Structure 1
């Protein structure tokens, strides 16, 4: 057996680890799920420990480790930038040196934490992104596009994947970065940058894109790629506010200090304008990549590929024939790509795997679950059919915590660590937002739909297993599932197959048989500001500290009095 480990850490967010056995994923997890620090960027010691334990090996049995950064790349460009922008660049150097020091000390981390002294490959960050999507995709050949804020001084990478090989064709260097644009406006709108960008995407449909012309002065498509007017940005390596310059304030007015439920319409229109212009630039890049590579299959990765609203429009507008976005499109996916590339570098063997599941994390048996329930002095009712019982509770207007099997890898809850509700009840959106998630009222919820029924409810007819794309809800179905239909008539769809997640599929199927609707409301099992739950104890604590009605945890049911 050849074991290779992929690791991402010491960036600005999202440390993770992925373990391969003979090129196939055995285990993967983000460090935040163990440390309980959201977006934890530190060395993922606990995630690595889990991966090794899952395979039943020690670090001495690893053939190689791939690390998803190489800070030695583009040193000349970095130095040139510092000199060109001196003295404004002094703060960037002060922030950047400790980051580079931690990254350059990665071998020492592996020695100290793991006792590992074998091969460590420092890898191109965006090539890892590319590998995480193409080598996990079902395509023999595909255009590959990676978009994020910045990694190894790059922010946009595209190329061609063919067979087991990925060729780089074009790169855009930081600070020309679409991720930087969205992160900056996230800050301007009163949200937390490098954390709350998805909130801006959710806010956008509540506005009108009235300020497209102003956005086009800030960033726009060019024949070669795209361009930013850097005068609007306060350029930093760390996402410490303010990220916007005084010029952006002069253009749009005072920034919001904190966004909550009462965001003025003007700022909602800014969010809509930002989203609309971002989509136009992404569509331009997709057209260019497809035309250059000659492939109408597209693989996306990078933090910008988490923009599911833009993703869904790529196939529906006919820009590509097929689209693949992995469940870990943001930086955790870099660990997956690093593991793939380390395996190829170590063995010289071509190896690919169609990643059709994100259920790659820790799992807990019923004995462990029962012990956690009893430790809290709660009554545990054994269930002969957890899926059937959970479906019945949903039809009774109950909000149900659903904790089953292996935890998801990536930022979406996909039916292993989920909170579920009846999508037919319009009031469920407000109930779950206010009483359980404790979050903003404009935030939408996702529908989980039987894979066999997706075209009946949505304007799309292909699997979307990882909740990475937004599609329109069919007009005649919107009144049937109002709790998961966003204000613009769309939804971030997750299709569920019986092969990938049988217990969750059977839950939705049971709900379908009881109600005639093959859809449930699905949101992540956590509250605002916390990572998704990992252990039964964390699930129980979240259940007890919110107004959830019931918890189906493995083969047991816990209800509140």
Structure 2
């Protein structure tokens, strides 16, 4: 008799494909396909992710019991067809481009799954609802026996947001908002209009918001949308084009806000900053009302969240401070990738009716669910490219040397253990630096990340010190970097007249360069910070390295940003890490127990990626 049960969840074909695997209900592995293909937000069938998950579980394809797709293709097709008919003939072009994909490919997910997995797969294939997958991904790994559930997204089948409840091993959706009215689509419309890429530029819009004033809030509320007390919204679709065309906004939208969308290469204007501030404020109000409604509807003291909009950590911070809930837990892979995990969990707890063991910290395992590499494989690769390295077997020596480099304001690429699942680097695939440095933010943006200089960096803070530096309760956890909190007034610095003048300069590089606190590298222009708490149980060596830095400097805070450059996914392999190291101004690379110093490396080892350095001129 077969003792173990293996369930594979899959999200694919729309954005950020992923796979996740459970063994007897325990999360074993989860990863996004982009990390293997190196194509950001890759939507293809996640065959490499599936292979990794099977390998991590130690099984072959024939031992897989179930494969679960994260949404219902038939319901989604129904919504698309009804939308095309409703907006015909304006939707004719969209229909002619997308219908063949559905007719020949996406409507037959079972066939695609069997074809991709091969003849060895003999298990069952299942589907679930998109927002139910989100809800499951938020509740089942959470540390709560029961909780209110809030899913906020662009669109699944018909639902765009939902309110539900989770109790023991069951989740139920109680209310939903339906397409075309969508907070995710609304935010993405402003992302598009201000010149950023939909499905990836929303982070940029959120980071731009503190530079502006919310001057357009009344314009938005008086013309574009209506916000109800329960957080649902009604959108005047004459301002939008996503239901019938290939763009997000219409000419009516452009006329209302004074011109066409900003082109990506054009300079960001004050108007763009004010629009960002305005839609962020509107979004925060919508999410706060939704959370309050979820509390009233369910009466639960805990809240769990998922869906792409749940990654709006500024709004999350507002719920934490102003909302009615005692505790909040958000799925680290809140977007479509997390749906793969939710789908697998639904199969285990709902279809198979298996019990749930609630872990007091959560069962997400720090979200360190991706690949790790052996010392032998790492060394073979480093030798193959002629890298000059030192193998430091003693951890105390390694973290002592890394903390010294950070103290000297060196920038370190930190590659350790299993890769993170989700969009945030949480101390496994991170670029780190000294938060006390007034130059670190600009240096990392322009010489390491090759990205817009206005974008803030996140602080990692030792868990026991979070309340000393940020407006958060003592002991409050934020291990997944999903809450923004103000820097405490005691840590802020008084600005000189010259610095105040720079704060109003149209050049964002000058504004962001003004040191505002004792940890200027992670303090945004509005004194906010996207906080990650670090503890030894979840973060192991990363925590011990930070603790050593604290012992040497008296500062329990460092800068943490994802180990990648603009436009690329977070690094997955030692090869990815080494190439990023060599193509940027990172001073030191640590790959588990291997340390590489830039000054010791030979020039010209990687001519094929020398063009990365040219990106410096773009910022």
TM-score range, shorter chain: over 0.9
Pairwise CA distance, 1:372 = 1.8
Q: Within the alignment, does 1:7 sit opposite 2:13 as a pair?
A: no
Among 26, 32, 45, which residue is 1:24 paired with?
A: 26
- Between the aligned partners of 2:129 and 2:97, the Cα distance in structure 1 is 21
Q: Verify the 8 A CA contact 2:303 2:327 in the aligned structure 1.
A: yes
- Between the aligned partners of 1:369 and 1:79, the Cα distance in structure 2 is 50
Corresponding residue for residue 119 of structure 1: 124
Pairwise CA distance, 1:448 = 0.6
Corresponding residue for residue 466 of structure 1: 480
Corresponding residue for residue 228 of structure 1: 235
Corresponding residue for residue 106 of structure 1: 109
- Between the aligned partners of 1:318 and 1:69, the Cα distance in structure 2 is 30
Q: Verify the 8 A CA contact 1:220 1:281 in the aligned structure 2.
A: no
Among 359, 382, 390, which residue is 2:391 paired with?
A: 382
- For structure 1, which segment, 427-436 or 363-372, has the greater mean C-alpha deviation from structure 2 after superposition? 363-372
1:124-148 deviation digits (Å, cap 9, x = unpaired): 0000000000111111111101111
1:91-121 deviation digits (Å, cap 9, x = unpaired): 3323442453433322222222222242111
Secondary structure of 1:150's match? coil
Q: Within the alignment, does 1:184 sit opposite 2:193 as a pair?
A: no
- Residues 440, 65 of structure 1: alpha-carbon distance in 2 compared, 3 angstrom cutoff: same
Corresponding residue for residue 61 of structure 1: 63
Corresponding residue for residue 527 of structure 2: 489
1:237-275 deviation digits (Å, cap 9, x = unpaired): 88x4x3110011101122343346941112101110010
- Between the aligned partners of 2:97 and 2:402, the Cα distance in structure 1 is 49
Superposition map of 1:313-462 within 5 A? 313-352=318-357, 354=362, 355-383=364-392, 384-385=394-395, 386-461=398-473, 462=476
Secondary structure of 1:185's match? helix
- Between the aligned partners of 1:455 and 1:412, the Cα distance in structure 2 is 22
- For structure 1, which segment, 288-297 or 424-433, has the greater mean C-alpha deviation from structure 2 after superposition? 288-297
- Residues 74, 243 of structure 1: alpha-carbon distance in 2 compared, 3 angstrom cutoff: closer
Q: Verify the 8 A CA contact 2:403 2:548 in the aligned structure 1.
A: yes
- Between the aligned partners of 1:78 and 1:507, the Cα distance in structure 2 is 51
- Between the aligned partners of 2:188 and 2:321, the Cα distance in structure 1 is 26
State the Cα RMSD in Å: 1.6
- Between the aligned partners of 1:237 and 1:249, the Cα distance in structure 2 is 17
- For structure 1, which segment, 17-26 or 83-92, has the greater mean C-alpha deviation from structure 2 after superposition? 83-92
- Residues 206, 259 of structure 1: alpha-carbon distance in 2 compared, 3 angstrom cutoff: farther
Pairwise CA distance, 1:319 = 2.9
Superposition map of 1:458-537 within 5 A? 458-461=470-473, 462-478=476-492, 479-537=517-575
- Residues 156, 389 of structure 1: alpha-carbon distance in 2 compared, 3 angstrom cutoff: same
Pairwise CA distance, 1:79 = 4.0
- Between the aligned partners of 2:533 and 2:147, the Cα distance in structure 1 is 23
- Between the aligned partners of 1:470 and 1:434, the Cα distance in structure 2 is 23
- Between the aligned partners of 1:132 and 1:340, the Cα distance in structure 2 is 7
Pairwise CA distance, 1:227 = 1.2
Q: Verify the 8 A CA contact 1:64 1:346 in the aligned structure 2.
A: no
Corresponding residue for residue 81 of structure 1: 83
- Residues 80, 532 of structure 1: alpha-carbon distance in 2 compared, 3 angstrom cutoff: closer
Pairwise CA distance, 1:346 = 4.9
- Between the aligned partners of 2:292 and 2:35, the Cα distance in structure 1 is 37
Secondary structure of 2:73's match? coil
Q: Verify the 8 A CA contact 1:421 1:521 in the aligned structure 2.
A: yes
- Between the aligned partners of 2:262 and 2:87, the Cα distance in structure 1 is 28
